[in-house]
Chains A and B, each alone.
Chain A
Amino acid sequence: MSEEQINEEKKSADELKAAYWRENLIIVGVLLFFWFAISFGCSIIFVDQLNTIRIGGYKLGFWFGQQGSIIGFVFIIFIYTRLMNKLDKKYGFEEAE
């Protein structure tokens, strides 16, 4: 391979990495928005408004603070692992088994 080809290949590998990283940042950003919304949003900032809504014996704001936010966190990490595994495959960055 000529030097030019090698450089060319390196450049496209770098571009691939950069594109992967951009998509990664979008996934992390969106998921962190939900992380913030269910904890700081629903359970602290808007808790009084949500408490006017009821589900069974739970006031909604109370439910978010003591149950919902925690359950939401578990889902966020679950979705993150699924999306990242897909992203790894899309760019061929997954690790060998």
Chain B
Amino acid sequence: MSVIVWTYILVGLSFSLYIGIAIWARASSTKEFYIAGKGVHPLANGLATAADWMSAASFLGMAGLISFKGYNSSVYLMGWTGGYVLLALLLAPYLRKFGKFTTPDFIGDRYYSQFGRLVAVVCAIFISFTYVAGQMRGVGIVFSRFLEVPITQGVIIGMVIVLFYAVLGGMKGITYTQVAQYCVLIFAFTLPAIFISIQMTGSFFPQIGLGSQVVNGNGEYLLDKLDGLVEELGFLSYTELSGSKLNFFFITLALMCGTAGLPHVIVRFFTVPKVKDARTSAFYALFFIAILYTTAPAIAAFARVNLIETINNKEYKTTPEWFKGYENSDLVAWVDKNKDGVIQMKTKKGLKNNAAFTGKPDFIPLEFKDGKEIKDKSRGANNERLLNNKPTDNANEIYIDKDIIVLASPAMAKLPNWVIALVAAGGLAAALSTAAGLLLVISTSISHDLIKKCINPDISEKKELLFARLAATAAVVVAGYFGIHPPGYVAEVVAYAFGLAASSFFPAIVLGIFYKRMNKEGAISGMICGLLFTGTFIVLGKEITLNVTGVSTQAIGSFGMILNFVISLIVCHLTPPPPQEIQDLVEDIRVPKGSGDAVEH
């Protein structure tokens, strides 16, 4: 059977599973809609958190990033997992003990201020929207690649599915679909990795294969072989850190604290019955995330070796089918600079710009007449696709989109078609699960934090639930719009969501728990300053940030966070301490006893 038939079968099966679960787990009260009635088993919550966390970017993008950046990509691996240590040790148990519905709930109550709540709501909505736009785009891209439908249509299919189970099931529906989605995505991610690891190194576990000797390589280790290959081609060493350590340090810190401050992750710890369960499910969550995050570096290294061996110094005409397939979907490009018909993938040592041409590939569109391709304008002498881009003067002739590393790995390793289709189902599971979690945060922020807590406290439960569902619907439509018409900087904006979360929520929550004296004046001014500082540098852009602070924009969240802490502490000591009942509240959340009786409101 062909890849496309397999894809339809596997995607169809997994989607029916999600919809079935959504119907079984539909929410009947606001408590079920917001936090699944606080009845989620820690193991299920761990699985759901892992699926919630791992987006299309983790599933498709990360291994590609590692593959091209080598050791320097470790910032993402560490940043996106190390944040869970902060979450487990500093936030999750206490927020569960606090026992309300949302992050703005905590900020509003702990800092006894409606204004603080409002600031938190705006932060939560803004962070979640920037994040969700990227996810919808991811859904569209996966659909378009595997089911050969236009991206717009793919986004719409994704919207309908998410709409269905997020609006119907709320947190309860989302939690159990995420459990299923985790199983699909982890199976889809690890299975090809295991096959490839056995093929290349003979060991079953990719994590061990990465550090093993290659099969038939006279005892040569895989990583040494890879270092040899990339250095011979003039690229930087794969296994060594290159660039500024300071920058590295602060990007990692910003990603870690941002991870711990993301509202859609925090809210997952409100759904378990007890404080003890919040701790346990943080462990499960990171354990399940770690399975994917330790496999990704192996996939990355295997793919880089495979890629170089299949493509470099080979005649274009002899390249495998998948290579030309990705060329047709704009993900691979080749410019035959020296007109020899052979693909050269190399650069000069120490050269900063290794790109074969300037900018993203701008292909001359393929033309069809009577179902046949007309090739006179769009194809070159070797039948390769031609581009409008200006070639650079280095020797590199090839462009490869990083997303194809995971997608093309099974094809590169010549695995059967159903494995390739499985990867498609996994990518969709990853994108949908994250999108649903984010949409829920947005809808809760509107119906609970804004309408119930700020505008109309007397609203009936039934009406609030209706508003929650309406808000979720509106959020899906807006997210879908951004998915179809993405602002050019979507991918970057997603990365900046971490900086914003690190410089707003993280310090406010940590201080709220660990520093009893922290008052509303301190926390709110800290949040606003942190947010403005980070936001300003993000808007000003890369160049100015680097010149003023000496670090890249991704690292700026660390400085925003430090500024937030400093301002909070200074302002707090110039203003009166918080009232006694707030200090009692802080005492209370520090001790697990008594969280069984959930706070109704």
Do A and B truly interact?
yes
A-side residues, CB < 8 A to B, are: 17, 20-21, 24, 28, 31-32, 35, 39-40, 43-45, 47-48, 51, 55-59, 61-63, 65-67, 69-71, 73-74, 76-78, 80-81, 84-85, 88, 92-96
Residues on B with C-beta less than 8 A from A73 are 81-82, 84-85, 286, 290
- B241's partner among A20, A44, A55, A63 (CB-CB below 8 A) is A44
CA distance A55 to B73 in the complex (A): 21
- A40's partner among B84, B88, B241, B249 (CB-CB below 8 A) is B249
**Other 15 A-B pairs with CB < 8 A, given A44-B241, A71-B294, A84-B93:** A24-B590, A39-B82, A43-B78, A57-B210, A58-B210, A59-B239, A61-B241, A62-B239, A70-B78, A77-B89, A77-B279, A81-B88, A88-B276, A93-B592, A95-B276
Given known contacts A44-B249, A81-B279, A55 and B211 CB-to-CB distance under 8 angstroms: yes
Residues on B with C-beta less than 8 A from A55 are 211
The DSSP consensus for interface residues of chain B is: helix
User: What per-residue 1/0 map shows which CB atoms of B190-230 lie under 8 Å from chain A?
Assistant: 00000000000000000100111100000001111000000
Given known contacts A43-B74, A77-B88, A57 and B212 CB-to-CB distance under 8 angstroms: yes
- Nearest Cβ distance between residue A52 and chain B, in whole angstroms? 11
- Nearest Cβ distance between residue B478 and chain A, in whole angstroms? 35
Please tell me if the beta carbons of A67 and B283 are within 8 angstroms of each other in the complex.
no
B71 within 8 A of A: yes
B110 within 8 A of A: no
User: What per-residue 1/0 map shows which CB atoms of B283-317 lie under 8 Å from chain A?
Assistant: 10011001001100100000000000000000000
CA distance A93 to B274 in the complex (A): 12
Instruction: Pick 20 A–B contacts, CB within 8 A, sort by A.
Output: A32-B89, A35-B89, A39-B78, A43-B74, A44-B252, A56-B221, A59-B239, A61-B241, A65-B241, A67-B207, A67-B294, A69-B81, A73-B81, A73-B290, A74-B283, A74-B287, A77-B88, A80-B88, A80-B89, A95-B276
Given known contacts A66-B297, A69-B78, A95-B594, A81 and B239 CB-to-CB distance under 8 angstroms: no
Please tell me if the beta carbons of B286 and A77 are within 8 angstroms of each other in the complex.
yes
- Nearest Cβ distance between residue A9 and chain B, in whole angstroms? 16
- A31's partner among B89, B279, B286 (CB-CB below 8 A) is B89
* Closest B residue, CB atoms, query A18: B587
CA distance A28 to B82 in the complex (A): 14
Residues on A with C-beta less than 8 A from B224 are 57
- Nearest Cβ distance between residue A91 and chain B, in whole angstroms? 8
- Nearest Cβ distance between residue B236 and chain A, in whole angstroms? 13
- Nearest Cβ distance between residue A30 and chain B, in whole angstroms? 10
Given known contacts A39-B252, A81-B280, A84-B279, A28 and B223 CB-to-CB distance under 8 angstroms: no
Please tell me if the beta carbons of A65 and B283 are within 8 angstroms of each other in the complex.
no
* Closest B residue, CB atoms, query A25: B514
The DSSP consensus for interface residues of chain A is: helix
CA distance A31 to B93 in the complex (A): 16
CA distance A84 to B593 in the complex (A): 13
Residues on B with C-beta less than 8 A from A74 are 283, 286-287, 290
Please tell me if the beta carbons of A62 and B223 are within 8 angstroms of each other in the complex.
yes
Residues on B with C-beta less than 8 A from A57 are 210-213, 221-224
B90 within 8 A of A: yes
B-side residues, CB < 8 A to A, are: 66, 71, 74, 77-78, 81-82, 84-86, 88-90, 93, 207, 210-213, 221-224, 239-241, 245, 248-249, 252-253, 256, 274-276, 279-280, 282-283, 286-287, 290, 293-294, 297, 587, 590-596
Given known contacts A51-B239, A96-B596, A58 and B211 CB-to-CB distance under 8 angstroms: yes
CA distance A56 to B81 in the complex (A): 25
- Nearest Cβ distance between residue B270 and chain A, in whole angstroms? 16
Residues on B with C-beta less than 8 A from A43 are 74, 78
Residues on B with C-beta less than 8 A from A39 are 78, 82, 252, 256
Please tell me if the beta carbons of B210 and A95 are within 8 angstroms of each other in the complex.
no
* Closest A residue, CB atoms, query B285: A77
- Nearest Cβ distance between residue A46 and chain B, in whole angstroms? 10
Given known contacts A73-B84, A74-B286, A95 and B596 CB-to-CB distance under 8 angstroms: yes
Please tell me if the beta carbons of B78 and A95 are within 8 angstroms of each other in the complex.
no
Please tell me if the beta carbons of A66 and B596 are within 8 angstroms of each other in the complex.
no
Please tell me if the beta carbons of B211 and A56 are within 8 angstroms of each other in the complex.
yes
Q: Which of B84, B93, B591 has the most CB of A within 10 A?
A: B591
Residues on A with C-beta less than 8 A from B89 are 28, 31-32, 35, 76-77, 80
Please tell me if the beta carbons of B245 and A44 are within 8 angstroms of each other in the complex.
yes
CA distance A95 to B293 in the complex (A): 34
5 smallest beta-carbon distances between A and B, as pairs = A57-B221, A65-B74, A58-B211, A66-B297, A57-B211
CA distance A36 to B314 in the complex (A): 46
Please tell me if the beta carbons of B294 and A94 are within 8 angstroms of each other in the complex.
no
